[in-house]
Structure 1
């Protein structure tokens, strides 16, 4: 009687398995317990395709500061402007205040534009500066008692804020349009006339000359608060043009206020 030695399963066999089926050209090899991933191969006469099955690391929806900087670097000017216009929707130019998060977002986009300024010496290309510009954002605000005294909380609405620049005369006219409920003053406006002179490759000095309010009914409303109105909107002082192209201008005054204007007729 002959004895037959039975071998116990090897350690390798406990980790993997090879399964064959008669008449089938497919062979499945499965290796597990390799960094908690499974590696499978499907073998057929025509191709061998590896398939990796594993857990994909979860990614946070919030970008890190470094990732944000990298994304900012590749943004084109057209995309930045598009995002800026989107951020400015519904905030009424920021005149009556905005949330800090929104302000930070706008400031970031403005900074990105300034880093890509196509006209680094704007005062040397005055033809690009002249014409009419409309304010679409400013960090100047009219809040609290100032807004109440000017009637901008109740019956006076602030319309377009325009900047008309006459290069030949060296003059600027700042126009604030108002609508007054009940008086139907659709064309009421406050005009500030100033002169300017070039003081550097990117900045000018603005000097106040005069101001008027028309029609008389509107003047009567603001007469008591003319100094307040001028204190807020008088453009006098240093103005640096930090970004300029065919249809958009960004500037900063001597107090650090930011102004974003678009060209208009």
Structure 2
């Protein structure tokens, strides 16, 4: 909890004590706000991170280095919150979902690229999905075989800015007489709608190899309805390694930067 700066009135019977030097006060406040850091995948993070209030920002108690660390600390906390939930695709407890969405909002308020469609080089290239509020639950999960013999793998996305196209690839592992891998590939085109929004149009989809198509043939429309990207997407945060978007259906997507050729060697 942050150090309290407002103290209760001192009884008149007590003798007022001299205030400590201002430098000691600053050190005490800084120490309570920023405990010893721990290492993580995004560098150092403060184990006691909390959002910086307007009053603190204006008071001058926090230096520029501390302010610059804030988004990195939020990203570290976000990736820790995402551990063990399989990208949220099979549901997330309410408390965990609220925690994730709170951290997403903090990042969005610190977006270093507030007009992303004016800087599409930040968006171009390869991405891997790490969280989505799209879920496959109940009868949909059963019909698609995702409870028993089909495992959902990684979600990759490649964005070609020059062509105005995106390719989404969803990986699957199928257990049966023989174990084999496959993918659903969805190709779409996009047009800039505003400084932060793009309109997306579905173009085509394919499933490979044929064995996987045979597995999904009966429920292919259901599969496509879940992953079809058509609509609009608001890019609410993007930096060199992380991107967050919100679509017209109220979904949140969190993706991290990856190599573009992740699916080139499929068999």
With normalisation by structure 2, the TM-score equals 0.72
**Which residue number in structure 1 is paired with residue 50 of structure 2?**
71
**Which residue number in structure 1 is paired with residue 264 of structure 2?**
none
The aligned runs of 1:42-81 (5 Å cut-off) are 71-73=50-52, 76-81=70-75
**Which residue number in structure 1 is paired with residue 263 of structure 2?**
none
**Which residue number in structure 2 is paired with residue 58 of structure 1?**
none
Q: 2:52 & 2:194 partners in 1: Cα distance?
A: 28
1:200 maps onto 2:194 in alignment: yes
Deviation, structure 1 residue 254 = 0.3
Number of residue pairs the alignment of both structures matches = 199
1:190 maps onto 2:184 in alignment: yes
**Which residue number in structure 1 is paired with residue 230 of structure 2?**
236
Deviation, structure 1 residue 149 = 0.4
CA deviation vs aligned residue, 1:123-173 (integer Å, no higher than 9, x gap): 000111110110000000000000000001100000000111011111100
Q: 2:151 & 2:52 partners in 1: Cα distance?
A: 40
**Which residue number in structure 1 is paired with residue 97 of structure 2?**
103
Deviation, structure 1 residue 243 = 0.2
Higher-strand-fraction structure: 1
**Which residue number in structure 1 is paired with residue 64 of structure 2?**
none
Q: 2:197 & 2:154 partners in 1: Cα distance?
A: 24
Deviation, structure 1 residue 184 = 2.0
Deviation, structure 1 residue 71 = 3.1
With normalisation by structure 1, the TM-score equals 0.72
Instruction: Give SS of 1:118's match.
Output: coil
CA deviation vs aligned residue, 1:67-116 (integer Å, no higher than 9, x gap): xxx93226700000000000000000000001000000000000000000
**Structure exhibiting the larger radius of gyration computed from Cα positions:** 1
**Which residue number in structure 1 is paired with residue 252 of structure 2?**
258
Where structure 1 has 5 or more consecutive residues not aligned to the other structure, the ranges are 1-34, 36-69
